[in-house]
Amino acid sequence: MIARHVLRALLYAVLLLAALFFLAPLYVMLSTSLKDAEQIRSGNLLSLPGLVNLDAWRLAWSAACTGVDCRGLSPYFWNSVSMTVPAVLISTTWGALNGYVLSMWRFRGSELLFGLLLFGVFMPFQVVLLPMSQVLGYLGLSSSVSGLVLVHCLAGMAGTTLFFRNYYAAIPKELVNAARMDGAGFWRIFWRIVLPMSTPILMVTLIWQFTNIWNDFLFGVAFSGADTKPITVGLNNMANTSSSVKSYNVDMAAAMIAGLPTMLVYVLAGQYFVKGLTAGAVKG
């Protein structure tokens, strides 16, 4: 009895330590972003901010300098939004349709096609940087937000297809057959029967794609132009802009701003994420 309590206490202690360990950087970021330069210079990284001071957030958002451009992160933020939202929606829709076809409307060679698509999931993206920039050039999309959207759709499609295909593979084929006999066609079956059953995997894919695309640095740095840089690149450039005094509080606030949307999406849709990851693992 006592041994069990001790074990339990030990378990919680370990979990608590692990949580503290992983939360510590977040705490430091948050508290530093709320301090003024004076407090930061006093040297205690872990101390609480004396007075909550939102100046650093305001600076990071709209006045911090990257080189000679002193508009803060906001232009990059909106670049990221206008890149991420369409890219997430398009790549998710694309994956859902691919998965629907590959699991329920199999054709000669569809399994082979799926096998080849899997390569796309494991392929390091550095491999396609040069050919991709060529293609963007041919299409006249170099350095544009549309170009980045295209790149992210292509890069994400293999993964989203995999998600949906495996989820749909667990849906009984008889459902599709029943709908066919009832007179529904390819699109009707998708809209009325299959898509309404897809909420968990839809959430998983949306979160997954949003996180990947919002946090992407490689494509952002390689394919964006001066006015189309996403927030990850903007943050990097801002933090690397040399000035006489390093404004840690502004850098931290900027990093928080860059990270908030993905956290928000996870908090809003996270319950579905866990459900979706385990869906299909257990029948019923």
Partner 1 sequence: MAASLHIAGIRKIYGKDAHAVEVLKRIDIEVAPGEFLILVGPSGCGKSTLLNIIAGLEQPSEGELRIAGKNVVGVAPAQRDIAMVFQSYALYPTMSVADNIGFALEMRKVPKAARIQRIAEVAAMLQIEHLLERRPAQLSGGQRQRVAMGRALARDPQLFLFDEPLSNLDAKLRVEMRAEIKRLHQVSGITSVYVTHDQIEAMTLGSRIAVMKDGVLQQIGTPDAIYNRPANTYVAGFIGSPTMNFIAGNAMNTGAIRQFSFKEGGAPVVCPLTREGQLGLRPEHIYFNADAPWRGEVQLVEPTGADTFVVVKTAAGAITTRVAPNMAVKVGEMVGLQFAPEHAHWFDGQSGMRVATENHS
Which residues of this chain interact with partner 1, rule CB under 8 A?
Answer: 172, 174-175, 177-185, 188, 192-193, 196-197
| In the complex, least distance from residue 231 CB atom to partner 1, rounded to whole angstroms | 37
| In the complex, least distance from residue 167 CB atom to partner 1, rounded to whole angstroms | 14
For the purposes of burial, counting CB atoms within 10 Å of the CB of 94, is it exposed (0-12), middle (13-18) or buried (19 or more)? Answer: middle
Cα gap 69→59, rounded to integer Å: 13
Nearer to partner 1, 140 or 172 (CB): 172
| In the complex, least distance from residue 189 CB atom to partner 1, rounded to whole angstroms | 10
Residue 150 and residue 141 in contact, taking contact as beta carbons nearer than 8 Å: yes
Residues with Cβ within 8 Å of 218's Cβ and at least 6 positions away in sequence, in order, are 125, 126, 129
Nearer to partner 1, 48 or 197 (CB): 197
| In the complex, least distance from residue 173 CB atom to partner 1, rounded to whole angstroms | 9
| In the complex, least distance from residue 234 CB atom to partner 1, rounded to whole angstroms | 42
| In the complex, least distance from residue 187 CB atom to partner 1, rounded to whole angstroms | 12
Cα gap 56→246, rounded to integer Å: 12
Residue 66 and residue 241 in contact, taking contact as beta carbons nearer than 8 Å: yes
DSSP state of 183: T
Nearer to partner 1, 124 or 183 (CB): 183
| In the complex, least distance from residue 181 CB atom to partner 1, rounded to whole angstroms | 5
Long-range CB pairs of 261-267, under 8 A, 24+ apart, other chains included: 261/80, 261/81, 261/210, 261/214, 262/210, 262/211, 262/214, 262/215, 265/206, 265/207, 265/210, 265/211, 266/207, 266/211
Q: How is residue 131 written in tokens?
A: 């050919």
Nearer to partner 1, 54 or 178 (CB): 178
Cα gap 224→243, rounded to integer Å: 25
Nearer to partner 1, 194 or 252 (CB): 194
CA distance readout (Å), 207 to 42, 125, 197, 199: 40, 20, 18, 12
Nearer to partner 1, 13 or 178 (CB): 178
Nearer to partner 1, 25 or 196 (CB): 196
